[in-house]
């Protein structure tokens, strides 16, 4: 089968330590890569993520990035409608260079496709929590949710739009990709202690988990009311349900029997939604907000560069619990990268999750738009697992592959990409 793209991510510090040429040459030579992108706004996360030390970096053993810095030029004028302003690196070895333009220059020299990624958090989360907690999502009890910004807050909404717009307006990129965090999806509610055997799927627990998520801020309230929702009723009903969901961990004794009867039962998640139309309405409201956000970002970048590709990098197990509905956003994305890395955990489910997720996305966005399947080329993945993964992927109608990630990889694992493609009958075809 034909692959349009084999993509790989690079970080500014990879380029600084190894040079763009060395990174890109390694990727082309060992892994057939024909598309590279800079993780240009990166959250605070130790690199490499899944191994202790770098294997390909001649300068550093590991690296601790700053919180959500922008590593390339954006125009301050683009941010005039929001009080949020981008932060740039303060690290000496990264200052004074536009890392996106550096990668673009190298990619263009070698005839590759090139892009930029805005990662999970697009603004300093610690600074926001300390100075502007109103930018963050609120849970049903009014508590700010760490790291999750509310896109219904006009400052956040404008900032997001400006960041995407400024990135494509001032740089010669073919695509802009994002795994930005959407509505906080909470945390699954545990099944009660007395069940002899737990259900590994725990579907009802995952649905109830979103009652621990967001958002219930004033901006969401105003927007929901303007859209015709009975926000006060929704909040009242969901507070009761949240008390039931949280009764065990919060020691809320009044709701503990409700919790045990509900989670001990085999009521389906659909059954629970039928009982609670307010929960459905809140989920529908969130879905409409995320669709509108995607539409706003999509239309604003297309207005300045019609040919630029907008790619969502899906990392969510249950996108609908974060407000993302692939059918609803299909007109506002050009492609989806599915960020599954089963290979690094031994693919114990025999790639079932990877398979299910790719089909779910295909069902949502249709056959016209490309799906780029990610895979792990870092420990504990092995060359054998990568090859096995490609054989499964070759049956799923994908359009491309995407390495996760070069910075944790080894030459042996990079070579497995080329070999795996050959063995799975995947051929690069850029037309
Ligand atoms: Zn909100």
Tell me how far apart the alpha carbons of residues 15 and 7 are, in angstroms, rounded to a whole number.
16
Q: So what's the pLDDT on residue 281?
A: 98
The answer to whether the CB of 19 falls within 8 A of the CB of 415 is no
Cα 149 to ligand 1 centre (Å): 8
Tell me how far apart the alpha carbons of residues 24 and 96 are, in angstroms, rounded to a whole number.
22
Cα 38 to ligand 1 centre (Å): 30
Q: How far apart are the first and last CA of the chain?
A: 13
Q: List pLDDT tens digits, range 322-379.
A: 999 999 999 999 999 999 999 999 999 999 999 999 999 999 999 999 999 999 999 8
Cα 216 to ligand 1 centre (Å): 5
Cα 91 to ligand 1 centre (Å): 33
Cα 251 to ligand 1 centre (Å): 27
Tell me how far apart the alpha carbons of residues 350 and 255 are, in angstroms, rounded to a whole number.
40
Q: So what's the pLDDT on residue 250?
A: 61
- What the block records as the tokens of 415 is 């070579």
The answer to whether the CB of 402 falls within 8 A of the CB of 373 is yes
**Radius of gyration of the chain measured on its C-alpha atoms:** 22
Tell me how far apart the alpha carbons of residues 42 and 378 are, in angstroms, rounded to a whole number.
19
At 340 the three-state DSSP class reads: coil
Cα 210 to ligand 1 centre (Å): 14
Q: Of 102, 101, 68, give the one whose Cα is nearest residue 85.
A: 68
Cα 316 to ligand 1 centre (Å): 20
The answer to whether the CB of 242 falls within 8 A of the CB of 212 is yes
Cα 329 to ligand 1 centre (Å): 20
Q: So what's the pLDDT on residue 431?
A: 62
Phi, psi dihedral angles at 154 (to 5 degrees): -55, -35
Cα 372 to ligand 1 centre (Å): 31
Q: Of 66, 78, 293, give the one whose Cα is nearest residue 168.
A: 78
What's the pTM value of the predicted model, to 2 decimals?
A: 0.96
- What the block records as the tokens of 58 is 């001649």
Cα 403 to ligand 1 centre (Å): 34
Helix (H) or strand (E) holding 137: strand 136-138
The answer to whether the CB of 34 falls within 8 A of the CB of 6 is yes
Cα 213 to ligand 1 centre (Å): 11
Give domain limits for the chain: 2-186+293-428, 203-279
The answer to whether the CB of 7 falls within 8 A of the CB of 31 is no
Cα 268 to ligand 1 centre (Å): 28
Tell me how far apart the alpha carbons of residues 184 and 150 are, in angstroms, rounded to a whole number.
9
Tell me how far CA of residue 119 lies from CA of 41, 313, 390, in angstroms. 6, 9, 26
Cα 139 to ligand 1 centre (Å): 9
Tell me how far apart the alpha carbons of residues 236 and 238 are, in angstroms, rounded to a whole number.
6
Instruction: Give the count of alpha carbons within 13 A of 254, CB side only.
Output: 4
Q: List pLDDT tens digits, range 12-65.
A: 999 999 999 999 999 999 999 999 999 999 999 999 998 999 999 999 999 999
Percent of the chain with pLDDT over 70: 99
Write out the residues surrounding ion ligand 1, Cβ under 5 A. Answer: 150, 152, 215, 217, 220
Q: Which residues, at least 6 apart from 187, have a Cβ–Cβ distance to it below 8 Å?
A: 209, 212
Cα 153 to ligand 1 centre (Å): 6
Cα 116 to ligand 1 centre (Å): 27
Cα 137 to ligand 1 centre (Å): 5
Tell me how far CA of residue 313 lies from CA of 120, 189, 209, 371, in angstroms. 10, 26, 23, 10
Q: So what's the pLDDT on residue 112?
A: 98
Q: List pLDDT tens digits, range 153-187.
A: 999 999 999 999 999 999 999 999 999 999 999 99
Q: Of 42, 13, 34, 40, give the one whose Cα is nearest residue 107.
A: 34
Q: List pLDDT tens digits, range 212-262.
A: 999 999 999 999 999 999 999 999 999 999 999 998 766 678 899 999 999
Residue 106: pLDDT over 70: yes
Q: So what's the pLDDT on residue 253?
A: 81
The alpha carbon dihedral of 270, 276, 277, 282 has a sign of: negative
Helix (H) or strand (E) holding 148: strand 144-149
Q: State how far Cα 135 lies from the chain centre.
A: 20
2-186+293-428 has which fold? TIM Barrel (3.20.20)
* Alpha-helical segments (H) within 265-382: 269-275, 277-304, 326-329, 352-365
- What the block records as the tokens of 212 is 């621990």
Q: Of 280, 211, 207, give the one whose Cα is nearest residue 240.
A: 211
Residue 266: pLDDT over 90: yes
Q: List pLDDT tens digits, range 55-92.
A: 999 999 999 999 999 999 999 999 999 999 999 999 99
Tell me how far apart the alpha carbons of residues 367 and 371 are, in angstroms, rounded to a whole number.
9
Tell me how far apart the alpha carbons of residues 162 and 157 are, in angstroms, rounded to a whole number.
9
Tell me how far apart the alpha carbons of residues 277 and 379 are, in angstroms, rounded to a whole number.
45
Cα 154 to ligand 1 centre (Å): 10
């Amino acid at each position: 089968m034909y692959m349009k793209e084999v993509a790989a991510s690079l970080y500014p510090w990879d380029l600084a330590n190894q040079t763009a040429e060395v990174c890109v040459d390694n990727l082309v030579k060992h892994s057939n890569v024909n598309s590279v992108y800079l993780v240009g706004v990166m959250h605070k996360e130790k690199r490499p993520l899944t191994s202790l030390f770098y294997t390909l970096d001649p300068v550093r053993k590991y690296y601790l990035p700053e919180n959500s810095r922008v590593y390339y030029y954006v125009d301050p004028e683009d941010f005039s409608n929001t009080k949020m302003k981008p932060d740039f690196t303060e690290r000496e070895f990264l200052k004074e260079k536009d890392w996106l333009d550096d990668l673009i220059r190298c990619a263009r020299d070698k005839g590759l496709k090139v892009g930029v990624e805005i990662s999970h958090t697009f603004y300093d989360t610690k600074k926001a929590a300390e100075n502007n907690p109103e930018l963050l999502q609120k849970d049903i009890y009014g508590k700010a949710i760490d790291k999750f910004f509310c896109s219904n807050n006009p400052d956040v909404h404008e900032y997001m739009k400006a960041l995407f717009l400024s990135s494509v307006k001032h740089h010669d990129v073919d695509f802009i990709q994002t795994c930005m965090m959407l509505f906080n999806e909470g945390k699954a509610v545990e099944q009660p202690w007395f069940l002899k055997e737990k259900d590994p799927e725990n579907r009802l627990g995952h649905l109830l988990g979103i009652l621990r998520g967001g958002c219930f801020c004033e901006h969401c309230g105003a927007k929901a009311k303007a859209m015709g929702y009975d926000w006060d009723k929704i909040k009242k009903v969901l507070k009761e349900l949240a008390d039931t969901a949280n009764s065990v961990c919060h020691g809320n004794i009044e709701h503990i029997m409700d919790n045990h009867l509900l989670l001990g039962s085999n009521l389906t998640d659909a059954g629970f939604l039928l009982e609670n139309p307010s929960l459905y309405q809140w989920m529908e409201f969130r879905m409409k907000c995320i669709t509108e956000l995607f539409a706003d970002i999509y239309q604003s970048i297309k207005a300045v560069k019609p040919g630029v590709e907008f790619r969502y990098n899906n990392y969510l197990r249950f996108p609908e619990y974060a407000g993302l509905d692939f059918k609803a956003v299909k007109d506002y994305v050009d492609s989806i990268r599915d960020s599954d890395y089963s290979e690094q955990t031994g693919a114990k489910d025999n790639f079932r999750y990877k398979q299910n997720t790719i089909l779910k996305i295909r069902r949502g966005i249709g056959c016209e738009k490309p799906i780029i399947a990610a895979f792990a080329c870092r420990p504990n993945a092995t060359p054998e697992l990568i090859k096995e993964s490609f054989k499964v992927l070759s049956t799923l109608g994908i359009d491309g592959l995407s390495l996760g990630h070069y910075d944790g990889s080894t030459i042996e694992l990079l070579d497995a990409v080329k070999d795996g493609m050959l063995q799975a009958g995947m051929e690069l075809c850029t037309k």
